[in-house]
Amino acid sequence: MTLPEHLFDYEAHLAACARGDRQALQRLYQQEGPRLYGVLLRLVREPAVAEDLLHDAFLRIWAGAGSFDAQRGSARGWIFSVTRHLALNDLRKRQRDAPQSVLLEEVGEGLEASLQSTRIYQCLEQLPSERRACILHAYVDGFSHAEIAAKLGAPLGTVKGWVKRSLVALRECLG
């Protein structure tokens, strides 16, 4: 059902959604649903919540397709960001009680092979491991500063500083 990314015209599908073509939305769902659901599940950890968010994300994609601006980034990236930020909003509002009750596998120290050719992988490799963990726990697991601090057993203020400095380092490295 899922095509290789380069064979699927995300932008054309968004344009079709903006014209009211519901089949285009369905094809987008078939194409991106599993990836987005995986991202959501990783962030919120609860299948029912992840499905609610995926539902909301597709309504938002449908309603917002007309406002997608290719100048600002790729269509696939836009769909991803819309979805991810819905989950982040939800997480920050809910204040998860038990960040440690991890149902899924942790992001390991070694990054996945699929990332190895990317620039961000090389940049993350240059960070001290605890700072790399800050970035990954925040971006992939949706952890707040406090949750990262609890996870790494480091003081909150230290973690805040690590996150800030890691971001500066990443920007310099990534350009």
Partner 1 sequence: MNDEHDGAQDELDTLAAEYVLGTLAAGPRTEVEQRLGHDAELRAAVDAWEQRLEPLGALAPAQAPSAGLWRRIERSLGQSTAPDSTSWWNRLALWRGLSAAGLAATLILGALLLIREVPVSTPSYLVVLVAPLDKSPGWVIQASDQQSIRLIPLGVVEVPQDKALQFWTKGKDWQAPVSLGLVKPGQTLQVPLDSLPPLESEQLFELTLEGPNGSATGKPTGPIQFIGRAVKVL
Binding site for partner 1 (CB under 8 A): 2, 18-23, 25-26, 29, 33-35, 37-39, 41-43, 47, 50-51, 54-55, 58-59, 62, 66, 72-74, 77, 80-81, 84-85, 88-89, 91-93, 107, 111-112, 114-115, 118-121, 135-136, 138-140, 142-145, 148, 163-164, 167-168, 170-171, 174
Largest CA distance in the chain: 51
Minimum Å distance from CB 138 to partner 1? 5
Q: How far is the CB of 46 from partner 1 (least distance, A)?
A: 13
Q: Which is nearer to partner 1, 125 or 171 (CB)?
A: 171
Is 14 within 8 Å of 73 (Cβ atoms)?
A: no
CB nearer partner 1, residue 9 or residue 81:
81
DSSP 72-132: GS-HHHHHHHHHHHHHHHHHHHHT-S-TT---SPPP-SSPPGGGTTSHHHHHHHTS-HHHH
Closest contact distance (angstroms) between CB of 9 and partner 1 is 18
CB of 85 to partner 1, least distance (A): 8
Distances (CA, A) of 175 to 96, 98, 123: 34, 36, 11
Residue 74 or 129: which CB sits closer to partner 1? 74
CA distance 37 to 48: 11
- Of the pair 9, 85, the CB lying nearest partner 1 is at 85
- 66 and 21 in contact (C-beta within 8 Å)? no
Give me the least distance between CB of 127 and partner 1, in Å please.
13
Give dist(CA 162, CA 130) in Å, integer: 8
